[in-house]
């Protein structure tokens, strides 16, 4: 069940097939990548004396070398702890301490940020590309260390927008199911197809590595190391049949860019991490055609809860096409998804409640946190904390995180519903709606807006499409909205900012 066996099979059967590219250039074949992973595994076990189940952190920027690290760790029977390279040294130090990682591989420059915060449990901090690092690959390769399906493969640390991040324990079985679900229901991969890693390989984009390795795809990393629309479009032209996972804000930047490419070279643009507003989706569809897919998932059920397929998004003739664009799609075949009330019992279609998920893709629990595990996985279902509702046709619409629900005058108001309306105004570029404590109503609706739209026009727009009590009581115009490293708007920070404005 060791995921590294997928690479070994690809390396044996098609050693000359391109496996990894830096920008337009192939830098590793499957034979070379498999050999490199086996040698690193030998060094980790025999030189560094790591034992099966030990954790190895990867605090690295996207690069082709990321693949050798990830698969070398698995090949050795160890658990990977990928951490976002954009995190502060103190945040990375916490992940190292909490995970108990004995070794950390870090991009050049990050080692200086990490070192002052490295815990005593960390034995080696190795800079990728250093002489110490290169020496590891002179070791003799070893056979793949057997792993059971329930063994830890990837310790996935959440973004931690409401406190310390938790480590979701993703097993080899979890990752295998997620990979199969991606290939079967989102984006079938054929040999030679490319995946462009413009989003962090430590998170969403990295979770699509495995299916492309199994199917002999090419892993392409932008040469600039950044998300630059001009470069992304050039790489679409260089690598036909390319897919890319992106946050909605990234796709919006592509839509707004003056650069161009042959859209026929794009296999699929998959977005996730946050919903895309309908108006933004329509613009992307007009620009790129029926090459868009949406996934809804969490680190605890990696990328795999529901999906809105390319077929659904591109079906303009369907009588409920626009409503479907506003949904998160239908559950994957490998999961059971229900919308439940406070007693965890399923609610009928049309009623909003918490989204619960069950299946072999759901995490084993939170690392070193039995209390959070018990609360999150009670009753055999992952309690996502997200609020949603199924329609009569089985499509799930996300309302909001449960903590973001606004209760004003005893009525529930879902911020996304208000945001969708405000974004139809041509002068509104971004918007986020929060609740402000109010002595009379409990909470008042407040809209933070990036744009130059007159308040009166926004009021008129809201009154034309939603109930009067949902209309914002205040509009705050800002240059930018606070976001985390993955492009998610931080409503927690926005509420704190709003409290300081009083």
Edge-to-edge order in the sheet of strand 292-298: 25-29, 18-22, 218-221, 194-196, 242-246, 266-271, 292-298, 301-308, 330-331
Contact assessment for residue 52 and residue 78, using Cβ atoms and an 8 Å cutoff: yes
pLDDT digits (tens, 9 = 90+) for 130-168: 999 999 999 999 999 999 999 999 999 986 444 578 999
Worst-scoring range by mean pLDDT, 167-171, 179-183, 249-253, 471-475?
Answer: 249-253
Residues with Cβ within 8 Å of residue 106, at least 6 apart in sequence: 59, 60, 114, 125, 126, 127, 128
What is the pTM (predicted TM-score) of this model?
0.85
Residue 350 CA to its chain's centroid (Å): 28
Rounded (10°) angle between helices 4-13 and 65-75: 110
Token pair for residue 244?
A: 């890319």
pLDDT at 226: 84
- Of 153, 155, 239, nearest in space to 198 by CA: 239
pLDDT digits (tens, 9 = 90+) for 48-63: 999 999 999 999 999 9
pLDDT at 413: 83
H or E element, residue 94? helix 89-99
Give the residue extent of every domain in the chain.
Answer: 4-368, 409-501
- Of 392, 399, 397, 246, nearest in space to 308 by CA: 397
DSSP code, position 44 = I
- The angle at the Cα of 460, spanning 459 to 462, to the nearest 5 degrees, equals 65
Worst-scoring range by mean pLDDT, 12-16, 406-410, 493-497?
Answer: 406-410
- Of 76, 75, 61, 150, nearest in space to 106 by CA: 61
At which residue do the structure tokens 């190292």 appear?
A: 96
Gap between the Cα atoms of 381 and 384, Å rounded = 9
Q: Which residue has the higher pLDDT, 81 or 385?
A: 81
Q: How many CA atoms lie within 13 A of 116 on its CB side?
A: 7
Token pair for residue 50?
A: 């790591």
Gap between the Cα atoms of 345 and 353, Å rounded = 10
Contact assessment for residue 396 and residue 329, using Cβ atoms and an 8 Å cutoff: yes
pLDDT at 273: 73
Contact assessment for residue 344 and residue 379, using Cβ atoms and an 8 Å cutoff: yes
The answer to whether 4-368 and 409-501 have equal CATH topology is no
At which residue do the structure tokens 């690295």 appear?
A: 60
Statement: residue 447 has pLDDT above 60: yes
Contact assessment for residue 69 and residue 40, using Cβ atoms and an 8 Å cutoff: yes
How do 266-271 and 242-246 pair as beta strands?
parallel
pLDDT digits (tens, 9 = 90+) for 184-219: 999 999 999 999 999 999 999 999 999 999 999 999
Q: How many CA atoms lie within 13 A of 328 on its CB side?
A: 27
H or E element, residue 359? strand 353-359
pLDDT at 481: 93
Token pair for residue 141?
A: 């390769």
pLDDT at 486: 60
Burial of 430 (0-12, 13-18, 19+ CB in 10 A): buried
**Statement: 4-368 belongs to CATH 3.40.50.10420:** no
Worst-scoring range by mean pLDDT, 152-166, 223-237, 238-252?
Answer: 152-166
pLDDT at 485: 64
pLDDT at 161: 40
DSSP code, position 489 = B
pLDDT at 160: 47
pLDDT at 162: 44
Beta bridge partners of 124: 103
pLDDT at 270: 97
- Cα–Cα separations (whole angstroms), residue 183 to 295, 296, 453: 13, 15, 43
Worst-scoring range by mean pLDDT, 113-127, 380-394, 400-414?
Answer: 400-414
Q: What is the mean pLDDT of residues 253-264?
A: 92
- The angle at the Cα of 231, spanning 229 to 237, to the nearest 5 degrees, equals 105
According to DSSP H, which parts of 257-358 are helical?
278-288, 310-314, 321-325
Task: Break the chain down into helix, strand, coil percent, rounded to 5.
Answer: 35, 30, 35
pLDDT at 502: 66
Beta bridge partners of 340: 346, 354
Work out the pLDDT band at 105, boundaries 50, 70, 90. Answer: very high
Q: Please, what is the average pLDDT of the chain?
A: 93
Q: What is the mean pLDDT of residues 352-373?
A: 96
Residue 207 CA to its chain's centroid (Å): 8
Worst-scoring range by mean pLDDT, 2-11, 206-215, 274-283, 449-458?
Answer: 274-283
For the chain, what percent of residues have pLDDT higher than 90? 80
The third-level CATH classification (topology) of the domain covering 409-501 is GMP Synthetase; Chain A, domain 3 (3.30.300)
3-state secondary structure 150-202: CCEEEEEECCCCCCCCCEEEEEHHHHHHHHHHHHHHHCCCCCCCEEECCCCCC
Residues with Cβ within 8 Å of residue 400, at least 6 apart in sequence: 386, 387, 414, 415, 416
For the chain, what percent of residues have pLDDT higher than 70? 97
Contact assessment for residue 127 and residue 108, using Cβ atoms and an 8 Å cutoff: yes
Gap between the Cα atoms of 243 and 266, Å rounded = 6
Statement: residue 399 has pLDDT above 90: no
pLDDT at 158: 83
- Cα–Cα separations (whole angstroms), residue 379 to 45, 344, 356: 39, 8, 10
- Of 459, 365, 448, nearest in space to 166 by CA: 365
How many helices (H) and strands (E) would you count in the chain?
Answer: 17, 24
């Amino acid at each position: 069940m060791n995921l590294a066996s997928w690479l070994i099979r690809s390396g044996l059967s098609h050693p000359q097939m391109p496996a990894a590219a830096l920008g337009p250039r192939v830098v590793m074949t499957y034979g070379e990548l498999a050999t490199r992973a086996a040698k690193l595994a030998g060094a980790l076990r025999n030189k560094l004396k790591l034992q099966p189940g030990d954790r190895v952190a990867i605090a690295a920027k996207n690069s082709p070398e990321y693949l050798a690290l990830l698969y070398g760790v698995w090949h050795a029977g160890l658990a990977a702890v990928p951490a976002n390279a954009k995190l502060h040294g103190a945040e990375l130090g916490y992940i190292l301490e909490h995970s108990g990682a004995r070794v950390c591989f870090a991009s050049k420059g990050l080692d200086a940020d990490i070192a002052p915060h490295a815990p005593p449990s960390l034995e080696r901090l190795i800079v990728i590309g250093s002489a110490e690092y290169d020496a590891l690959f002179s070791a003799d390769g070893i056979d793949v260390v057997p792993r059971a399906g329930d063994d830890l493969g990837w310790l996935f640390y959440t973004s931690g927008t409401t406190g310390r991040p938790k480590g979701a324990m993703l097993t080899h079985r979890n990752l295998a199911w997620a990979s199969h679900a991606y290939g079967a229901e989102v984006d079938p991969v054929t040999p030679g197809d490319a995946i462009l890693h413009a989003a962090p390989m430590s998170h969403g984009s990295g979770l699509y590595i495995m299916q492309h390795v199994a199917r002999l795809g090419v892993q392409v990393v932008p040469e600039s190391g950044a998300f630059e629309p001009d470069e992304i479009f050039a790489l679409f032209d260089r690598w036909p049949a390319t897919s890319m996972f992106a946050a909605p804000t990234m796709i919006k930047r592509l839509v707004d860019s003056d650069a161009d490419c042959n859209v026929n070279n794009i296999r699929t643009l998959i977005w996730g991490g946050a919903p895309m507003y309908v108006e933004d989706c329509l613009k992307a569809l007009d620009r790129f055609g029926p090459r868009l897919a949406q996934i809804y998932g969490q680190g605890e059920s990696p990328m795999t809860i529901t999906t809105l397929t390319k077929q659904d998004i591109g079906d303009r003739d369907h009588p409920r096409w626009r409503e479907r664009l506003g949904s998160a799609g239908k559950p994957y075949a490998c999961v059971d998804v229900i919308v439940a009330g406070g007693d965890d019992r399923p609610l009928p279609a049309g009623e909003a409640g918490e989204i619960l998920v069950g299946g072999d893709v759901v995490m084993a629990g939170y690392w070193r946190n039995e209390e959070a595990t018990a609360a999150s996985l009670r009753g055999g279902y992952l309690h996502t904390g997200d609020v949603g509702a199924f329609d009569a046709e089985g499509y799930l619409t996300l309302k909001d995180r449960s903590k973001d629900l606004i209760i004003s005058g005893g009525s529930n108001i879902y911020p996304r519903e208000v945001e969708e309306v405000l974004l139809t105004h041509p002068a509104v570029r971004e918007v986020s709606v929060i609740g402000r404590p109010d002595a009379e109503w409990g909470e008042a609706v407040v809209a933070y807006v990036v744009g130059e739209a007159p308040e009166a026009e926004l009021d008129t727009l809201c009154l034309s499409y939603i109930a009067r009590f949902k209309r914002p009581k205040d509009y705050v115009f800002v240059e930018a909205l606070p976001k985390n490293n993955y492009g998610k708007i931080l409503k927690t920070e926005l509420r704190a900012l709003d409290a300081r404005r009083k």
